[in-house]
């Protein structure tokens, strides 16, 4: 048994850099022990050398590479005391004749002339040999150095490029391996269905898949087949990924998770290879779940883009289609994907047999928002004043991510105020900050700008309060927030899923309330650019009424929208032809202009009848900067607004955004 255990022990990975290091060290050693580096001689000077010549001690010399002289003494000279330590010895224990002295000279011609003259003068016969020595290993090393550097740089780049591609050691050969993370029974995922609030319908859909994986006989006994794939569709922040994490926490089966962008690389064929590898791993761990987040990164329409659609992304998609429902069945492998762009997905991906079930993960209703708030409020200390139902009622259109951000902003505010618990006032402040933007305290407005802004915002509020099917006014402020100088915020009393023609006309009329108020107070020549965003939104609503929603009696219930779709969104690159004539286009423009003009005149009529209230509300805004529902009610009743309380004072943090029925703020420039 001990032997088997030893055999099962993994050997430490071999580091290839040891090979390169060993080769370099070998070159250095060989270079050191070859050529002149292997010899050890006494170094002398040219003047001493010529004294040796005069004394007749020199037997022969070697002029090496025309720059260095090797001096060999006679046998009689070696017996002299002055040359006792001059005998050359080899560093290696090899019998080898070495020079007794060495030295370098300057000019070769001068050295030869002086040696010849000294030899004749003292009648010395000295043998002179000219030697050319080369360091072979040094030359080889120098010649190979560029190749060594190129190889080293190439290995470095390849290791860096493949370091994040998954697989053992992140080697280049593993670049086609799947990057999916595996969560098995040992990997504890703390998120469960209890942490997913406000998504009861979606939870039931995916819970059925989890239940099938735990008890397959319960379904197969009746001949039922579990869907091969489930597509989670919803706006950003609604909890699609959180729902997938809950599936991983609830399912007692292996769970693979990967992002759609992880399939695509700069190398051709990598995406398809990773898809194959991911499903091969999934089959080995079946039954299991594969979760692909943001599948629109690889699942967009084929044939899109310029110059043909046969690209790397399409190859990846084709492989994904084959793996999900091809000739080879993936028994026990269920694919769950998430996207907020179902409109750009390829139809082949959405057909039964691949993503059989499409689960809508929409925005939570008031009960769902309350449940989500309670989940997040458990994570922060709160006092007795906190009422999650009130906050849920005042946050229509908020997603789960928005509500989580609201609680976090409230906690940060409480920390800045040095309080130990989060109260209702901090939550209200956080709500206003998210809906209307942060207050720009550094922006200082002069008195005239404040006056114009006050009348502008008062115009919005008064017009909205005198129109049918319009949301109540929540707050009005002239404190700059975001890109706006002031905000009139309308907040619906309940969730609204569709709008009537009357409600849309009321919204357009309210948008022009600010522009009309400026015109009444200052005249046509003194109107400002503050209504630019109002005009843009009103024009868009009016055109949609005519071209999309069929609200025009003249043009009828036809769709005249001819907006070209971008080929980079997964659609065809061919330009769409306009489906109506030039005469119809003129009628559309006339109808849009007529709607705008009617709403503009209606806003003027309302403000003319309520001119005293317009002045009172503007004065209140100049005094308090922010007024709430109670103060607005006082003004509309003909009374001066009551003094602000502490909670209202915190609401002074509101931005210059007006929210419509969809709870989206409308900003004035």
Active site residues: 457
What is the DSSP pairing of strand 127-131 with strand 58-64? Answer: parallel
Joined together, the tokens standing for residue 382 give 């709160």
- Measure the CA–CA gap between 248 and 242, rounded to whole angstroms: 10
- Exposure string of 646-659, with b = 16+ CB inside 10 Å and e = fewer, is eebebbbbbbbbbb
Cα→Cα distances 273→31, 280, 574, 585, Å: 48, 11, 31, 51
What is the DSSP pairing of strand 487-490 with strand 626-628? Answer: unpaired
Cα torsion 201, 202, 203, 206: sign = positive
- Measure the CA–CA gap between 327 and 385, rounded to whole angstroms: 62
Cα torsion 26, 28, 33, 36: sign = positive
**Which of 157, 144, 184 has the alpha carbon at shortest distance from 285?**
184
**Which of 650, 190, 185 has the alpha carbon at shortest distance from 379?**
190
Adjacency order of strands within the sheet including 42-43: 42-43, 101-104, 68-73, 58-64, 127-131
CA dihedral angle for residue 289, residue 292, residue 293, residue 299, rounded to 10 degrees: -150
Kindly report the length of the chain: 669
The DSSP letter of residue 177 is S
- Measure the CA–CA gap between 567 and 300, rounded to whole angstroms: 11
Collect all residues with Cβ–Cβ distance below 8 Å to 561 and sequence separation of at least 6.
547, 548
Collect all residues with Cβ–Cβ distance below 8 Å to 435 and sequence separation of at least 6.
395, 489, 655, 657, 659, 663, 665
Joined together, the tokens standing for residue 462 give 């008064």
- 345 in Cβ contact with 334 (< 8 Å): no
- Exposure string of 100-122, with b = 16+ CB inside 10 Å and e = fewer, is bbbbebeeeeebeeebeebbeee
- Measure the CA–CA gap between 435 and 431, rounded to whole angstroms: 6
* HEC letters along 350-385: HCCCCCCEEEECCCCCHHHHHHHHHHHHCCCCECCC
What is the DSSP pairing of strand 288-293 with strand 255-259? Answer: parallel
Question: Using only C-alpha atoms, what is the Rg of the chain?
Answer: 43
Joined together, the tokens standing for residue 38 give 């292997």
- Measure the CA–CA gap between 276 and 446, rounded to whole angstroms: 66
- 215 in Cβ contact with 178 (< 8 Å): no
- Measure the CA–CA gap between 491 and 50, rounded to whole angstroms: 110
- 557 burial level (CB within 10 Å; 0-12, 13-18, 19+): exposed
Collect all residues with Cβ–Cβ distance below 8 Å to 18 and sequence separation of at least 6.
none
- 668 in Cβ contact with 534 (< 8 Å): yes
The DSSP letter of residue 573 is S
**Which of 242, 193, 206, 245 has the alpha carbon at shortest distance from 400?**
242
């Amino acid at each position: 048994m001990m032997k088997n255990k030893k055999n099962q022990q993994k050997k430490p990975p071999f580091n290839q850099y040891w090979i390169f290091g060993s080769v370099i060290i070998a070159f250095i050693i060989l270079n050191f022990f070859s050529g002149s580096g292997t010899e050890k001689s006494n170094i002398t000077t040219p003047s001493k050398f010529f004294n040796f010549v005069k004394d007749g001690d020199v037997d022969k010399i070697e002029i090496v590479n025309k720059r260095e002289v090797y001096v060999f003494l006679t046998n009689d000279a070696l017996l002299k005391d002055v040359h006792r330590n001059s005998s050359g010895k080899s560093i290696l224990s090899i019998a080898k004749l070495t020079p007794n002295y060495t030295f370098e000279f300057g000019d070769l011609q001068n050295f030869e002339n002086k040696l010849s003259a000294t030899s004749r003068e003292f009648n010395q016969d000295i043998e002179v040999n000219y030697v050319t020595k080369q360091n072979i290993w040094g030359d080889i090393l120098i010649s190979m150095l560029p190749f060594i550097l190129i190889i080293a740089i190439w290995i470095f780049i390849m290791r860096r490029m493949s370091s994040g591609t998954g697989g053992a050691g992140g080697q280049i050969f593993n670049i086609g391996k799947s990057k999916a993370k595996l969560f098995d029974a040992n990997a504890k995922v703390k998120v469960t269905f209890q942490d997913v609030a406000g998504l009861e319908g979606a939870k039931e859909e995916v819970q059925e898949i989890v239940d099938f994986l735990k008890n397959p006989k319960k379904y197969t006994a009746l001949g039922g087949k579990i869907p091969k794939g489930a597509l989670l569709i919803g706006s950003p922040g609604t909890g699609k990924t959180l729902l997938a994490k809950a599936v991983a926490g609830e399912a007692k089966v292996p769970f693979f998770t990967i992002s759609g962008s992880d399939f695509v690389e700069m190398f051709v064929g990598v995406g398809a290879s990773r898809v194959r590898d991911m499903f091969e791993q999934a089959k080995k761990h079946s039954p299991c779940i594969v979760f692909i987040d943001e599948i629109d990164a690889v699942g967009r329409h084929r044939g899109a883009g310029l110059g043909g659609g046969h690209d790397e992304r399409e190859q990846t998609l084709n492989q994904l289609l084959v793996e999900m429902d091809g000739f080879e069945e993936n028994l026990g492998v269920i694919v769950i994907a998430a996207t907020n762009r179902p409109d750009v997905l390829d139809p082949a991906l959405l057909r039964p047999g691949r993503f059989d079930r499409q689960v809508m993960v929409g925005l939570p209703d008031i009960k769902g928002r309350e449940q989500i708030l309670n989940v997040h409020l458990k994570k922060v200390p709160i006092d007795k004043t906190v009422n999650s139902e009130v906050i849920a009622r005042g946050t229509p259109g908020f997603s789960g991510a928005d509500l989580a951000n609201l609680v976090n902003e409230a906690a940060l505010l409480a920390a800045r105020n040095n309080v130990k618990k989060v109260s209702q006032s901090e939550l209200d402040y956080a709500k206003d900050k998210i809906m209307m933007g942060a207050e720009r305290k550094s922006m200082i407005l002069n008195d005239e700008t404040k006056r114009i802004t006050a009348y502008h915002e008062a115009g919005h509020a008064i017009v909205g309060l005198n129109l049918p099917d319009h949301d109540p006014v929540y707050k009005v402020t002239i404190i700059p927030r975001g890109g706006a100088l002031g905000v009139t915020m309308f907040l619906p009393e309940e969730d609204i899923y569709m709008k009537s023609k009357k409600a849309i006309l009321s919204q357009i009329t309210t948008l022009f309330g600010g522009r009309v108020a400026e015109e009444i107070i200052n005249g046509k020549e003194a109107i400002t650019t503050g209504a630019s965003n109002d005009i843009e939104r009103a024009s868009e609503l009016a055109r949609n009424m005519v071209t999309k929603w069929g609200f025009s009696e003249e043009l009828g219930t036809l769709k005249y929208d001819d907006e070209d779709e971008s080929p980079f969104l997964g659609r065809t690159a061919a330009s769409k032809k306009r489906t109506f004539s030039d005469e119809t286009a003129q009628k559309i423009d006339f109808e849009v202009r007529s709607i705008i003009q009617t709403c503009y005149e209606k806003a003027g009529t309302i403000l003319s009848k309520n001119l005293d209230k317009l002045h009172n509300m503007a004065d209140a805004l100049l005094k308090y900067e922010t007024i709430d529902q109670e103060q607005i009610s006082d003004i509309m009743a003909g009374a001066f607004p009551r003094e602000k309380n502490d909670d209202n004072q915190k609401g002074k943090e509101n931005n210059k955004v007006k929210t419509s029925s969809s709870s989206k703020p409308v900003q004035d420039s």
